[in-house]
Structure 1
Amino acid sequence: MPVMRVPQVLIDRYRRLFRFYDRDGDGVHSLAQDFAPVARSIDARWQGRRPPFANLLQLLLDTYAHEQQRRDSDGNGVVTLREFVDSHQRVLAAYQANPEQARVFIERAAGGFFDVLDLDGDGVLELADLQAFAAAYGHPVEGIAANLAAMLGELGLSPERLPRAVFLTLLEQYWFDPSPKAPGRLLFGGLPLED
């Protein structure tokens, strides 16, 4: 099977996402340094509330471990930028081969993550939910409100509330749609990440 050519705009997005996830800024992803602290931070937000999943911390740790293992092609315990981008190439190929099946997966995986961020369970992420997510990865939260307003404005929606279906659409666009007009292209654009 020939190797699929990934549009450069998508590669650039995957690189930006890699930097977002690289919590400690060391140029690789590791479960202990990058994802376990995020899992603990997200879990801590639920203190005093009933989380949408039993044993939320363990679920998050298991999910991050699975994703880390899936991307770690040489099995050395860390994921490099190259491994991260290559793993998205496989996901993009699967999406292009069967978009409907991919959307079912996005609904289950990303939709479940949405539920973890949606503290009040109303099906809408508030600005504070998104800021807490960025802060868990060690990023400043300035710029998130303007970026959210820009994305939602392109969709003709209220600038401060991100409904679940829109969240899933924006993620799908970010990962798979190279169009310069897809609102999802702006995800992670409100954070001052180095290029």
Structure 2
Amino acid sequence: MDPELQRRYRQLFRFYDVQGDGSLSVEGDFQQVAEALAARWQHRNTPFPDMLGLLLGTYAHESERRDLNHDGVVDELEFVDSHAPVVQAFLGMRPQAEAFIARAAGAFFDCLDLDCDGVLEVGDLEAYAAAYRKPTEGIRANLARMLAAFALPPDRLPRQVFLTLVEQYWFDPSPDVPGRWLFTLDCPTDASC
């Protein structure tokens, strides 16, 4: 697997590791995230009838798929290694993989898009990071630099651009794709946060 993709998957693992204990589990990391994301929809119509159940089911499925030694938790090596067949599938069946990304990442986009307007605001992304107990100070600047690559305003992330960024982050090791910054929380050196 490409070293740049491995670096990104390690970065993503650290983002997901809410407890900071070097392992991922539904109970230890993802349950509170799912609860926080579902709670944002309180007193609103959700895009899914049982959003909490959907999120918990998705996190459970992904954790089980990544738990290569079946010990109930996913460590960083398992997390990174579990992406190898996904990358291979993407390369071998690109049209089907792109359709899957549109469905899966698109559904996740819908979970974050609180006003259902097809655009994520900075607050939507900050709520996502906060659910993982991550700092939010650099999100606005990182979003602006990603959107600048698409000649878009700095604070509104349209669904199709989100899907492109997700695909770039997960599958395109190029050093110049804006999707490489998707889970970057630090303030860019050329911005004040």
TM-score normalised to structure 2 length: 0.95
Show the counterpart of 1:97.
Answer: 92
Structure 2 residue corresponding to 1:186, chosen from 178, 181, 185: 181
Show the counterpart of 2:110.
Answer: 115
Equivalent residues in 2 for 1:26-175, closer than 5 Å: 26-175=21-170
What is the CA–CA distance in structure 1 between the aligned matches of 2:59 and 2:31, rounded to whole Å? 8
Shift of 1:87: 1.0
1:92-146 deviations in whole A, cap 9, x for unaligned? 0000001111000001111000000000100000000000000000001000000
Query: What are structure 2's unaligned runs of at least 5 residues?
Result: 188-193
What is the CA–CA distance in structure 1 between the aligned matches of 2:186 and 2:27, rounded to whole Å? 23
Show the counterpart of 1:7.
Answer: 2
Give 3-state SS (helix, strand or coil) of 1:158's partner: coil
Q: Is the 8 A contact 1:146 1:190 kept in 2?
A: no
Give 3-state SS (helix, strand or coil) of 1:125's partner: strand
What is the CA–CA distance in structure 2 between the aligned matches of 1:55 and 1:107, rounded to whole Å? 20
Query: What are structure 1's unaligned runs of at least 5 residues?
Result: 1-5
Give 3-state SS (helix, strand or coil) of 1:181's partner: coil
Q: For the aligned residues, what is the CA RMSD?
A: 0.9
Show the counterpart of 2:190.
Answer: none
* Misfit runs of 4+, over 2 Å: none
Structure 2 residue corresponding to 1:16, chosen from 2, 11, 20: 11
Shift of 1:190: 2.6
What is the CA–CA distance in structure 2 between the aligned matches of 1:40 and 1:114, rounded to whole Å? 16
Shift of 1:171: 0.4
Q: Is the 8 A contact 1:125 1:161 kept in 2?
A: yes
What is the CA–CA distance in structure 1 between the aligned matches of 2:185 and 2:77, rounded to whole Å? 24
TM-score normalised to structure 1 length: 0.94
Shift of 1:191: 4.0
